[in-house]
Structure 1
Amino acid sequence: MPITKVLQIKKTENLKRSINYITQDAKTLKAEINTLEQDSFPMELIDGTLCKRLVSGHNLTDESDAENIFDDFVLMKESADIFNGRSGLNAYQSDLHDPKKVLAHHIIQSFSPEDNLTPEEVHEIGRKTVMELTGGQYQFVIATHLDKGHLHNHIILNTTNTVTLKKFQWKKNTKQTLAAISDKYAEIAGAKVIEPKLNNSYTKYSAWRRQNVYKVEIKERLDFLLRHSLSLEDFKEKAKRLNVTVDFSGKYVKYRLDDKGQQKFTRDRTLSKKGKYSLEEIKKALAKNEVVYSKEDVAAMYQEEQEQKEEDFEYKLDIEEWQVDEVTSQGIFVTVDFGIDQKGQIKIPARMLDQNEDGTFTAYVKQKDFFYFLNPDHSSQNRYITGGTVMKQLSQKSGDLLLKKNKYISKLDRLVDELNFLSDNNVTNSQQYEDLENKLLEQLEETDFELDRLDDRLSEANKIIGALSTYQGQLANVEVAEEILEKNHIDKNTDPYQMKKVLEEVQLERAALKEKRDDVVTNLTKYQSINQERQHKKEDKELKKQL
């Protein structure tokens, strides 16, 4: 969204200079044609032309005069000095006298020329952004500049709180919070994205991302190639199709992603401590393969597999129309509660949503998805929250059941797809098929353990619901009920129907997993029967030849 840049002002002369600069007539005056349009900006007659001055402020005596703005800022700081005893011998502790202390923050918001936003809309985005960032307890002046090829706001924020007289704390995450708030209001207004230029912090982040994300991506592609290559040459050729350069020439096998800007090779031992991607282990894995995707199909099939993984979800929930605060082309903004007395907005991107004909949205979210929580009243509470937390909050508000797709369903699906591929190609009597079948059997065993765990949860939930009803109704066995609730750390005043909703959600999760498990077992039994029949026919044929 808009590029946000922040500068610190530490001297009074620089503060005065900055205020004078941002409020210049040449930068902020807009000739007004439609005199019937009403807004908060004062109209002035400049050289016979009716103009609007795009300058406004908060907690200021007169934002139309730069000298008055400066005086207001200084008066607030002098009041803070008197209140905190920073006068006389202690004057050196004052913002006004210590050249190392920050008097004000100078925030710049730059918008794309393609946004088609009016100067008034841009100004309002800036005003809402700084009001949410500060909670309205700090003086600021905002000026929208029209003199460049793009609209941009200059905001000067006094660091002294007008209520508590305490200092605005610019912490490590404040810049991120500022950008997130700015993005929210800009997106709602229809602004587009301007890509920021590289700077030192972004370069450091990019280096970290390359070092860590490359490994994940390389392993994804190599795992696919290990299943769908027949020889080292086939492996190298198909690696090229997946934009991976493989170097077998040295002591270690080295890999490089050619479509992600990776400069240096990654050694095999940094990808797997067990040596999974070493030359020796690659040869062992390829020796088991009998049927694989062709060179022509390998890239398309890998892309299809990745898209299926990307589209996979863990939580599915219908979001009611009344729960949606704003709808934009990039997603929706919804209100969630996070902790006690913490209410704010998060954005769910369009790629996680289906819009339904009745105005509701169906969200598909993973537990490890992260959403930035924006508290409009207390921006210091802004933070990331997980997808699971977001879905549970929205479900609790609407009362709709939250469908959780157990992770073992996806694991079973992928193994079954691979088994189907081998079976369709009549490769059922091979080491490749046997290894895959064993993996599937192991996964079924793990799934059974998961079903047992869900059964335990259901049993415990039923006990809790009974205990709540017993305790709240003061029926027999109240002491036993109280013991159950304390053991499970459940508030004795919890609504039993709230627990009933949790119970129903776990029942749905278990039923879906059990259905998948039973379906896999049925199909696997059929495969084994067919394979035994094929093997018997093959043995009979060989016996007849011998006779």
Structure 2
Amino acid sequence: MNNVHNAEFEMLRTRRFAQKLKGHYSNGKDEVFAHHIIQSFPPDAKITKEQAHEIGEKMMLQFTEGKHEFVIATHVDKGHLHNHIIFNATSNVDLKKFRWKKVTASLLYKISNDVSLEYGIEPIKSTLDSKYKAYEKYRKEMTFSNEIKQRLNFLISQSSSFEDFQRKLPLLNLQGDFYTKSGKLKKYATYKLLDFPQQRAKRDATLSKKGDYLLKNLEEQFKKNEVVLSEDELIEGYEKIKRDVFALPDVEIIIEPWQVSQQDEDFIYLTFDYGIKNQGEVRIHKSQFLTQEDGNYKLQLKHSDFFLLVDSEHQSKSRYIKSSVLVEQLTTDNLRPPTKFYSARKEFIFALDSLNFLAQKNIHTGEQVEDYFSVLKNKLEESAQAIENVDRKIEAVVEQYKYKNPSLEIKKKLEGLYLQNDELKALHQEITKTIDQVEQISEYSLGHKERLQYIPKEKQEQKQSPKY
């Protein structure tokens, strides 16, 4: 900018030049010409007005990457120093419009804190997390959907009819809306959590692409349930499934100390490389980490997790990333393969708990039992196939490098594959043992069964347990 007193004129000329060059003309209606930013400093900040102005200038050069004209006015009339900043929405370098995104304000706040720190101004801890407001809001929305599905899955498996299903919904703090004002059944139901700050109810059609929660499909699922938990047993049963199944992560990866850029009381910040020479930082709550004896961490994630990636240099490139993207990059960086078999374990434990419940109710045959036994057999086959796949990978690595001195990269790769193999074999043995116990007390083998029998685990441990 040539003259601060002509700031408005120069910014408008930049906009006009961009329109002429690109051929995109606008009458100005609903157009954003410039953005106004207020940067405030604590009353006890030991800086001069000149330094406050400097901080504002450094912040804006980093924030706009030097591509937008701006003007700063430092005020001293409010008992604390603060800057009023106007910057041109049209770039005077690439002539592109600045797009204010959901994360822009939080990114600007981070830059302001970083620059202020150079002048001895500590960011206020209570507001440090404000840069993640948009992220937390979006995360909550996703959490609502997953929590609703989790509770619905359990209720559907423990309801004998649609009426029974409706009665049990409030027990798990779920509100369902099924009927029109005239009393007719709606085409789409909506659900809302009563113990979460959920504002908008979720429609059943949006919870599953397969239509698992559509009203027209629920009745068929209820018919399969010969016996279900009573209303008195429901909450205790759900809490058990929550502990045994839903709390398990979907994937687990190793994080080495050099991948941690910083940590505070609640969070660990991981260095994240992406694209060509791009680097950022991802913040993850400490509750998702397990500290290992060798100094490494185990990071446990769910497929539904997502994180805010803050680009270190180009703030405009910051964005949300899924856990799958995070896993791929972090494991590529440290050469340690992830463990990805918890979904099989979840289904196995859920089926086993369900069979235990049915056995306690003296139910040993029928469609319900058949379905859960099928899950056990499927998980057994899946784990066997997974073990074979890992064995082939190990064999291929050994064959390729057995005539060479193994590098650190190869050692880490094999270490990760061996760990995967051990975990999968433990799961396979667990499923095999369960099926063997069931077969021992069955009249027919699992492959040719007409009547299936099962004995609860706690009764198997008794010496004189009754046989069903």
TM-score by length of 2: 0.67
Cα deviations by residue, 1:393-424 (Å, 9 ceiling, x for unpaired): 4455556x454132323332332333333345
Q: How does 1:128-207 map to 2 (within 5 A)?
A: 130-136=60-66, 138=68, 140-141=70-71, 154-158=84-88, 165-167=93-95, 169-171=97-99, 174-182=100-108, 184=110, 189-192=124-127
Report the equivalent of 2:464. Answer: none
User: For the structure 1 residues 535 and 178, does the alpha-carbon distance in structure 2 shift closer, same or farther, using more than 3 Å as the test?
Assistant: closer
Is the Cα contact below 8 Å between 1:231 and 1:287 reproduced in 2? yes
Q: What is the CA–CA distance in structure 2 between the aligned matches of 1:282 and 1:76, rounded to whole Å?
A: 61
- Give the counterpart letter for 1:237 in structure 2: R
Cα deviations by residue, 1:310-345 (Å, 9 ceiling, x for unpaired): 55240232441x543332345232322112211222
* Unmatched 5+ stretches in structure 1: 1-59, 62-67, 199-204, 474-494, 538-547
Report the equivalent of 2:175. Answer: 244
Secondary structure class of the residue paired with 1:293? coil
Q: What is the CA–CA distance in structure 2 between the aligned matches of 1:531 and 1:275, rounded to whole Å?
A: 32
Task: Determine whether 1:530 maps to 2:467.
Answer: no
Q: CA RMSD in A?
A: 5.2
> Match for 2:246 among 293, 309, 320?
309
Report the equivalent of 1:405. Answer: 340
Report the equivalent of 1:257. Answer: 191
User: For the structure 1 residues 219 and 347, does the alpha-carbon distance in structure 2 shift closer, same or farther, using more than 3 Å as the test?
Assistant: closer
Q: What is the CA–CA distance in structure 2 between the aligned matches of 1:416 and 1:103, rounded to whole Å?
A: 63
Task: Determine whether 1:516 maps to 2:452.
Answer: no
User: For the structure 1 residues 339 and 440, does the alpha-carbon distance in structure 2 shift closer, same or farther, using more than 3 Å as the test?
Assistant: same
| 1:512, distance to aligned residue in structure 2 (A) | 0.8
- Give the counterpart letter for 2:251 in structure 1: E
Count of matched residue positions in the alignment of Structure 1 and Structure 2: 418
Cα deviations by residue, 1:186-231 (Å, 9 ceiling, x for unpaired): 6975243679999xxxxxx99xx98x99776654433211211234
> Match for 1:378 among 308, 314, 322?
314
User: For the structure 1 residues 375 and 282, does the alpha-carbon distance in structure 2 shift closer, same or farther, using more than 3 Å as the test?
Assistant: closer
Q: What is the CA–CA distance in structure 1 between the aligned matches of 2:82 and 2:237, rounded to whole Å?
A: 46
Secondary structure class of the residue paired with 1:374? strand
> Match for 2:163 among 233, 237, 258?
233
Q: What is the CA–CA distance in structure 1 between the aligned matches of 2:103 and 2:132, rounded to whole Å?
A: 17
Q: What is the CA–CA distance in structure 2 between the aligned matches of 1:75 and 1:460, rounded to whole Å?
A: 65
Secondary structure class of the residue paired with 1:428? coil
Q: What is the CA–CA distance in structure 2 between the aligned matches of 1:138 and 1:379, rounded to whole Å?
A: 14
Report the equivalent of 2:305. Answer: 369
Larger Rg: 1
Cα deviations by residue, 1:11-30 (Å, 9 ceiling, x for unpaired): xxxxxxxxxxxxxxxxxxxx
Is the Cα contact below 8 Å between 1:403 and 1:505 reproduced in 2? yes
Q: What is the CA–CA distance in structure 2 between the aligned matches of 1:92 and 1:535, rounded to whole Å?
A: 79
Q: What is the CA–CA distance in structure 1 between the aligned matches of 2:40 and 2:228, rounded to whole Å?
A: 52
| 1:516, distance to aligned residue in structure 2 (A) | 0.2
| 1:358, distance to aligned residue in structure 2 (A) | 9.4
Report the equivalent of 1:456. Answer: 392
Report the equivalent of 2:458. Answer: none
| 1:376, distance to aligned residue in structure 2 (A) | 2.5
| 1:364, distance to aligned residue in structure 2 (A) | 1.7
Indicate the percent of aligned positions where both proteins have the same amino acid: 26
Q: What is the CA–CA distance in structure 2 between the aligned matches of 1:523 and 1:91, rounded to whole Å?
A: 72
Report the equivalent of 1:353. Answer: 289
Is the Cα contact below 8 Å between 2:33 and 2:88 reproduced in 1? yes
User: For the structure 1 residues 359 and 456, does the alpha-carbon distance in structure 2 shift closer, same or farther, using more than 3 Å as the test?
Assistant: closer
* Unmatched 5+ stretches in structure 2: 115-122, 445-450, 455-468
Q: How does 1:20-99 map to 2 (within 5 A)?
A: 69-70=4-5
Q: What is the CA–CA distance in structure 2 between the aligned matches of 1:312 and 1:217, rounded to whole Å?
A: 14
Q: What is the CA–CA distance in structure 2 between the aligned matches of 1:412 and 1:184, rounded to whole Å?
A: 45
Cα deviations by residue, 1:373-393 (Å, 9 ceiling, x for unpaired): 333323344344443443454
